[in-house]
Chains A and B, each alone.
Chain A
């Protein structure tokens, strides 16, 4: 087990290294000179060509790409992700300020997706062919198709503009005002949770139906066990495996979704940071955010794999 986790950790490190190289190269291929971005955010008139070259040298942008990459990586490992070109803030500190907001909303949505989705899926599979099943299936299919930005607009229109019961946008820390935080988080979390809930409901439904066809379930019925015992003890245990696999990808999708949701609801999280960084070609910011996102995703996948072995004793770690 320990060697397995160790091997997976090395693998995770390799993946993160590849992501960092990929993102670094992509950002450096962006059209436009980042140094001009740096300069124009200050005072372009007062600066001469020599000063620009001096600045380029100072920021290390005149070195070969690979050298720049290893410089950046070396600093990143030591916890220094550089400074924003536009606003000059420390990228890691800024991410540290915004990551908790994204994770707070993301994890709430994740938990909702993990509980409500499988629950609906089981109910729908057990009551297969009834109106409950049709309703859940329809909702699940709609849930995986609704564009998050549009769903956000619909919710804002109904609950904030028409009914006036929820604030349109903004974010308040739960430590400062919990009530306000919950009010403001309700719609974003609902939008973020829609896709995970819908897709795990679909996945659970199909795998529960698959398991219910197995011989051992027929045996359980024949033994005269109650429906509850059969579902909870025999069906669920076997049907939840593919759902757990799905959850690994889910966190990645929630973080991806937060890019859109934070823009719609004006939430100062990582998603908003990366979109703003992208629009202003502030590459240290974008690089930093993607690196942190990749680390989060890779580590959560690792967690899912370990969890998998715990859930399914048939899996042997070599």
Chain B
């Protein structure tokens, strides 16, 4: 097997990297792929709590890289799927506990065993980011439709491109009503500004908060809007050409008509 290694990154913190990593991992596993998600945020681990696996951690990514344990002893199987594994970050080490070369070697090994290796990058563009990108075949840049997040995403896209890693965009926390009012940049605006393709958008959804509370990714909740978005993105990562819904254009005639009325 030669799997695909995808780093999930953003520049700015708090835009949804960890949530995206957990949910894409869970969605790909639901589709029958063998997936490992790696928390590369050494010193500030969080992917474990988002996935509800915080009580099962014995070893971590630093232990695996340093040979303290075998790789297979480092992964934790998820509660919901036999196809989904987590390699947690160390909470007690520094960002420079591993080198980009060591990370690349680890990811290369994992690609032989998994269809998808998803790497949750820390915020920022320093050593932690460089470690997370080492060994990645492609990158998903997560942004929200906000000025500060887009600016940082643009910077990260530039850095990734210069390293020869193809970046694709996920626009997170899109609020349909605000986009329609013109008070939120639309996904198309964001794509125009940053200049790279999107792999999907995720609608703003209160279920994300609930899912973080319980440690159950939203893709397991069939009613969740965001969960549906993540499943669609997973399908696109598997090669489907599923179209991306554009909230800028209302589908119904009535919506178009009423918008004109309102504006007149």
Q: Do A and B come from one complex?
A: no
